[in-house]
Amino acid sequence: MACSFRGARSPSCSLEIQWWYIKNHWQDKPAHLTNNIATMEEMSEDSTKISVVKVVGSNISHKLRLSSVKASDEGTYECRVIDNSGAVAQHHRVRAYLQVNSQESHDVRLQEARQWRRGSHQTSHAGSRRGDEEETGWQPQSL
């Protein structure tokens, strides 16, 4: 996941970018919470700080890389940028929800795709029947 911020201030401002994992579910939050300014009180949710990067300048970016993702990693990830250049720090944040599909579900989709390519699986859409010669645009993707 990538996060970047471009400030409108002079190049000598102090910026900090933080990645957080938030335990509360994404659907419980209103949509207007992305790309806004928030106070520290609003940000004191049940969350875990993952990483922090500090720079002096007007631009900052950082990529959060997750490997060996498991079902327990599913949830809301938040990028917070703190602009310390003014008298009062400004907080900007954006959220993304990571959905993890199980390997079992992936294996079933892969098996269905193999059957489709062998011609043993036919599907009807909107009253029209697909034959063996028709191709589908769906291909199995490895995770």
Residue-wise pLDDT tens digits, 71-87: 888 889 999 999 887 78
Higher local confidence (pLDDT), 70 or 7? 70
- Cβ distance 37 to 91 under 8 Å? yes
Q: What is the pLDDT of residue 109?
A: 52
- Cβ distance 3 to 62 under 8 Å? yes
Q: What is the pLDDT of residue 20?
A: 93
Pinpoint the alpha helices (H) of 32-127. 103-118
Residue 141 has pLDDT above 90, yes or no: no
Out of 39-43, 109-113, 139-143, least confident range: 139-143
Distance CA 66, CA 102 (A): 16
Q: Mean pLDDT, to the nearest integer, of 19-32?
A: 63
Buried b (16+ CB within 10 A) or exposed e, 75-95: bbbbbbbbbeeeeeeebbbbb
Q: Look up the pTM and report it.
A: 0.57
Distance CA 17, CA 51 (A): 8
Out of 37-41, 47-51, 102-106, 128-132, least confident range: 128-132
Domains and CATH numbers, the chain: 12-98 (2.60.40)
Residue-wise pLDDT tens digits, 87-124: 888 899 999 998 888 766 555 555 555 554 444 333 33
Distance CA 114, CA 59 (A): 47
Residue 134, token pair as written in the block:
């028709």
